[in-house]
Chains A and B, each alone.
Chain A
Amino acid sequence: MSRFFARSDSESEESSSDDEITDKAPGATFKQSLLLSDDEEDTKRVVRSAKDKRFEELTNLIKTIRNAMKIRDMSKCLEEFEQLCRAFLKSKNIVDKEGIPPFYIRLLADLEDYLNQLWEDKEGKKKMNKNNAKALSTLRQKIRKYNRDFESEIAAYKENPQESADEEEEEKEPEDSGSSSDSEGEVSSKSFLKKKPEAPSEATKFLKTAKGSGDESSSSDEDDDDGDWSPSDTGSSSETSDKEEENALKRKRLVTFLKVQRAQDTEKPGVRKEERKKKPKQKEQIEEEAEEEGGWEKVNRGVPLVKEKPKMFAKGTEINTAVVVKKLNEILQARGKKGTDRAAQIELFHALAAIAAENNLGQGILVKIKFNIIASLYDYNPNLAAFMKPDMWKKCLDCIDELLDILFEHNNIFIGENIAEDSENLAVSDQPFRVRGCILTLVERMDEEFTKIMQNTDPHSQEYVDNLKDEGRVCGIVDRLLTYLENKGSTEEICRVYLRRIMHTYYKFDYKAHRRSLGLQGETKSEQDQEESKEESKEESKEESKGESEGEDSAVIMDRLCKFIYAKDRTDRIRTCAILCHIYHHALHSRWYQARDLMLMSHLQDNIQHADPPVQILYNRTMVQLGICAFRQGMIKDAHNALLDIQSSGRAKELLGQGLLMRNMQERNAEQEKIEKRRQVPFHMHINLELLECVYLVSAMLLEIPYMAAHEFDARRRMISKQFHHQLRVGERQPLLGPPESMREHVVAASKAMKMGDWRTCHSFIINEKMNSKVWDLFPEAQRVREMLVRKIQEESLRTYLFTYSSVYDSISMATLSEMFELEMPTVHSIISKMIINEELMASLDQPTQTVVMHRTEPTSLQNMALQLAEKLGNLVENNERVFDLKQGVYGGYFNRDQKGGYQQKQSYQRDQKSYQQKQSGYQRGGYRNQNQGNY
């Protein structure tokens, strides 16, 4: 057959043909109606002259094209084809009335096949002259595009080619000779053309006759037949392409044999013919590839086959487990092969399942088939990177649900990956069923596909929301599986499914529990203890409460699941993920100490860099969440430290897996980008980046501004947060300062106010409507966070104020300070005391008058400057000495030359300097200056 010569050259075409496959299914259903209209038309054609004229024109053109095809004159073909298209366009209104003339469709189909054959025939192509080759490629592209409009018609035609047309009759005769001459390789284009429509038509004829003649053959007979075919089946499929040439010959012979046979025994049911025909199809990969290319007809032959099959089976009367299993294996053999019609396969499985159910073959076989359905659903997308279509996925979801239903209903079904194929027990219902397959893997895959779907959906569309609604179902399935596996699965499996559960839980804020704890807060202070006791009681009543786990506190669930994993898991990865999720969950629910302790105990910070990227992303997410949690709790320093790594890189987006940075485009190629895209976290799990940045900047502000005030004159002061300084600088560079707009501008403006100790302005910049809507309202306990912030701002402003202006005060009353910053006296007292103790503020508290008495030992700015200058001069002198050393040829350095009188003086100056500095450093805030003295 002509298909032998067809060969697909690229995979991209495969994907496009995939789409077509799905589209074709409806095409097949149109068939009937179209056929009717065709018949009508034929009779009408004689009557109408306008139509006749147009159609004559078309037929003439078609004739010339056919002639050109015969002599392989591609350029002529192209020319004529273009004319034809134009003519067809002209006759559009007629066509609209009458429907597309069948001969036109026939030509389109034939031409495309013909072109594809030519295209595949590499040697022939080489022989072609340049003009022709060029025309061939353009024509091929053209027709492909053109045919897309007539897809359904062509499909229908291929389904059941009409033989009414005159040419058809002519073409019919060389059919047999054509098929035999195939083996010669050099086949005339004509024979190609003719055969193709023939074969299917014949097939359908057979089919009809078969139906008419009734089913004489038993199913066992058919099974034998299958047996005959299957060896060649597997054999040829495993052949490598090198041997294709000779194989082609063999296959051809097989086919011709088949045909002869078919021609001979018309008594055999047509369906079987169909099946046989299908089998060579499965065998011959090359052929399949041709199908990918553009061979519409084959795919479409497949579709009715699918439709036919169940019927056939039903008629095969004696349906038992063995038969079904056999059938199943048969279908499975096609799996994974190039060009297997995956949609059809799924249909087949479904049909099979229906048959099995109908015939009460037992749950074992049903489970088995279900497994295969799900697997083939996953197979539907050949590319791992591509995501499943949501409806496919939903189908899959249904299947899994059903499967779980069965498994729950029937306790005597054992499933497992390691049950060998031959030790399966599908039939005998008195013994427990044993089925090979792993539901956990299927569910995991389903979950991954869900993630993929979410990744590939525009997060701002309604579609995303719709998809997200399915998350509940996913969770439900995971939950059910969890219950199932808790009873039946091994520890590893339980760990895996637990992790799945955790993955679906950890990022969700448990509003119910939050509300509950709010209600309880008044009664018990230690939420933690309460939780633990709650947990214990829950542990006992775990079994009963399983069903209503929705109402259960997610913290308790997390705790239970994670602890199980900690105890039982043997793979590091699951445990790591579980810990991270646990920490995340703690942090999300403001259980800072638990989260922190867990993080510290796990030592993840030390070895996370060895983990794989998804785990690292999870780690980053956890750290960020931890930081935000610390911030909510008012642990500004901890918050800053936790967020520093993520924020300072400036790639927070990337590190959190929430998007790719554009600037990296050059650094990575398309492949890497794909991988990175696959790692992205779905949108509904995102951590708000603006919130993150704001939290970071505000904590940096609260730390940095007092620090800056304290070390204003220090030449070597270090930055706590580079990013914050960067923002400040950006703010300073602005030529015109308007009222702040963005979150950053707000923080910068607030920082400026805070520098002056003006907490009210600072407060109004940090907490206002804009910032509320942008940031603060995103917290679950917004009000509490705001209160905390105000307090922090007051405190830090007080500190800044004291640092900045202490030099102008002799003494200051604490009452005034408390009034200025609206802090209670004890707070002011404690802040000032802390500053005094830390030697940040040179002052003492005068108890009776409640005043702070400044010691005024701080060097003034001029003195500071002089100190710096002295230091610099010291360096200069030292450098100078080095030059002198070199001149003298003494490399001993500065200290060895005590005996040289000239320097002694200088050195003593240095010593003075040093001791002076030492004295100074006593007054220096912080005393970090000591390290400088190492230089001397």
Chain B
Amino acid sequence: MFLIFSKLKKKTMDVYTTNLVVLKIIKHYQEEGQGSEVVQGVLLGLVVDDRLEITNCFPFPQHTEDDADFDEVQYQMEMMRSLRHVNIDHLHVGWYQSTYYGSFVSRALLDSQFSYQHAIEESVVLIYDPIKTAQGSLSLKAYRLTPKLMEICKEKDFTPEGLKKANIGFEQMFEEVPIVIKNSHLINVLMWELEDKSTVADKHELLNLSSSNHLEKSLQLLMDRVDDMSQDIVKYNTYSRNLSKQQQQKHQYLQRRQQENAQRQSRGEPPLPEEDISKLFKPPQPPPRMDTLLIAGQINNYCQNVKEFTSQNLGKLFMAEALQGHN
């Protein structure tokens, strides 16, 4: 058996996964994904003690807009039933998704992961980065929503106030779960053998020195996000300005009312009736902050990627320089 494992800090559990799953995901991307397109699929497995073992998976079929009557749920059920017949773990433990230069933090991901996690507490999302993988090192990451974020999502309170109350930042949105890829000994043996046989060039892909292309792409994406962020901030800015303006008006209004009442009292007249202030001053619609949060998370993600990439590259460059010198 090949397993993928994942460890949950509090709730125990590493994610244990298997070669089979990894290869299936990679194959799925290779076959169907290209460029910035994303492939998705379902992870199957079971919870054992404090581990989440992912033992199998199957892809969501790519479907176009024309066959709108395609029922995804139906398909999943069918699939799982069929797998059960061949004695494969059929429990739903999460889903996987490919990514393009690390851009996966999105509203869609949040929503679907929330619904998964809401139904099955242990479920994770595996993010597979084909580009990094192509550069020589497998990039597979398991994420889960933090309990805090879960709560917010449950309440669906994305206003600035709500987020403030929940005290959540972009750092605390997702938690990464460590993955352990566990293979049977037979497979391990095979792997060793394969490693011996593979050519040198295959192994040294990670020594590739060209960097600008990858960095450019990352920067491009990063820039886009930054633009979005700027827009959001401007939006928020106008909102808060409007809010404060209104607050001022409200305040003035109240003061005037008070003065008037005081005058009336001194004249012995009954005070003016209290009016519903909230009706007079409808507070402006606060912009939802969740997107901003997500963008921040995404930017963070990009930065991490770039940082990681540059540091690796820097190392490589130094190495190359040293080599050059010795030649």
The chain A residues found within 8 Å of chain B, CB to CB, are: 860-862, 865-866, 868-869, 872-873, 875-876, 879-880, 882-883, 886-887
B81 on interface, CB distance cutoff 8 Å: no
Q: For chain B residues 233-275, which have a beta carbon within 8 Å of chain A?
A: 233-234, 236-237, 240-241, 244
B230 on interface, CB distance cutoff 8 Å: yes
User: In the complex the two chains form, is B219's CB within 8 Å of A869's CB?
Assistant: yes
User: In the complex the two chains form, is A886's CB within 8 Å of B241's CB?
Assistant: yes
Which of chain A's residues has its CB closest to B211's CB? A862
User: In the complex the two chains form, is A876's CB within 8 Å of B226's CB?
Assistant: yes
- Give the chain A neighbours of B229 by CB distance below 8 A: 876
Tell me, in angstroms, the Cα distance from A919 to B241 when the chains sit together: 37
Tell me, in angstroms, the Cα distance from A865 to B223 when the chains sit together: 9
User: In the complex the two chains form, is A862's CB within 8 Å of B233's CB?
Assistant: no
User: In the complex the two chains form, is A869's CB within 8 Å of B215's CB?
Assistant: no
User: In the complex the two chains form, is A861's CB within 8 Å of B216's CB?
Assistant: yes
User: In the complex the two chains form, is A872's CB within 8 Å of B223's CB?
Assistant: yes
In the assembled complex, how far is the CB of residue A864 from the closest CB belonging to chain B, in whole angstroms?
9
Tell me, in angstroms, the Cα distance from A875 to B236 when the chains sit together: 15
Tell me, in angstroms, the Cα distance from A883 to B223 when the chains sit together: 21
Tell me, in angstroms, the Cα distance from A875 to B227 when the chains sit together: 9
B212 on interface, CB distance cutoff 8 Å: yes
User: In the complex the two chains form, is A865's CB within 8 Å of B220's CB?
Assistant: yes
Tell me, in angstroms, the Cα distance from A282 to B255 when the chains sit together: 88
- Give the chain B neighbours of A875 by CB distance below 8 A: 230
In the assembled complex, how far is the CB of residue A860 from the closest CB belonging to chain B, in whole angstroms?
7
- Tell me which of B212, B222, B244 contacts A869 (CB under 8 A): B222
- Tell me which of A862, A873, A882, A886 contacts B226 (CB under 8 A): A873
Tell me, in angstroms, the Cα distance from A749 to B234 when the chains sit together: 42
User: In the complex the two chains form, is A865's CB within 8 Å of B216's CB?
Assistant: yes
- Give the chain B neighbours of A865 by CB distance below 8 A: 216, 219-220, 223
Question: Quick one: CB contact mask for B180-217 with A, threshold 8 Å, 1 for yes?
Answer: 00000000000000000000000000000000100110
Knowing A862-B215, A865-B219, say if A883 contacts B233 (CB, 8 Å). Answer: yes
In the assembled complex, how far is the CB of residue B22 from the closest CB belonging to chain A, in whole angstroms?
32
- Give the chain B neighbours of A860 by CB distance below 8 A: 212
In the assembled complex, how far is the CB of residue B288 from the closest CB belonging to chain A, in whole angstroms?
16
Knowing A868-B223, A869-B219, say if A862 contacts B230 (CB, 8 Å). Answer: no
Tell me, in angstroms, the Cα distance from A445 to B222 when the chains sit together: 71
Which of chain B's residues has its CB closest to A872's CB? B226
- Give the chain A neighbours of B216 by CB distance below 8 A: 861-862, 865
Tell me, in angstroms, the Cα distance from A851 to B200 when the chains sit together: 43
Tell me, in angstroms, the Cα distance from A93 to B220 when the chains sit together: 91
Tell me, in angstroms, the Cα distance from A879 to B222 when the chains sit together: 18
User: In the complex the two chains form, is A862's CB within 8 Å of B212's CB?
Assistant: yes
User: In the complex the two chains form, is B215's CB within 8 Å of A879's CB?
Assistant: no
Tell me, in angstroms, the Cα distance from A91 to B225 when the chains sit together: 92
- Tell me which of A861, A866, A868, A876 contacts B233 (CB under 8 A): A876
User: In the complex the two chains form, is A879's CB within 8 Å of B244's CB?
Assistant: no
User: In the complex the two chains form, is A886's CB within 8 Å of B223's CB?
Assistant: no
User: In the complex the two chains form, is B230's CB within 8 Å of A883's CB?
Assistant: no
Besides A872-B226, A883-B236, 10 new A-B residue pairs in contact (Cβ under 8 A), listed by A number: A860-B212, A861-B212, A862-B212, A862-B215, A869-B222, A872-B230, A875-B230, A876-B230, A880-B233, A886-B241
- Give the chain A neighbours of B227 by CB distance below 8 A: 872
- Give the chain B neighbours of A872 by CB distance below 8 A: 223, 226-227, 230
Among A866, A868, A886, find the residue whose CB has the most chain B CB atoms closer than 10 A.
Answer: A886
Tell me, in angstroms, the Cα distance from A868 to B233 when the chains sit together: 19
The 3 A-B residue pairs with the shortest CB-CB distance, nearest first, are A879-B233, A865-B219, A862-B212
- Give the chain A neighbours of B230 by CB distance below 8 A: 872, 875-876, 879
User: In the complex the two chains form, is B219's CB within 8 Å of A886's CB?
Assistant: no
- Give the chain A neighbours of B236 by CB distance below 8 A: 883
In the assembled complex, how far is the CB of residue B79 from the closest CB belonging to chain A, in whole angstroms?
36
- Give the chain A neighbours of B222 by CB distance below 8 A: 869
In the assembled complex, how far is the CB of residue B223 from the closest CB belonging to chain A, in whole angstroms?
5
Which of chain B's residues has its CB closest to A862's CB? B212
In the assembled complex, how far is the CB of residue A856 from the closest CB belonging to chain B, in whole angstroms?
15
Tell me, in angstroms, the Cα distance from A880 to B223 when the chains sit together: 16
- Give the chain A neighbours of B233 by CB distance below 8 A: 876, 879-880, 882-883
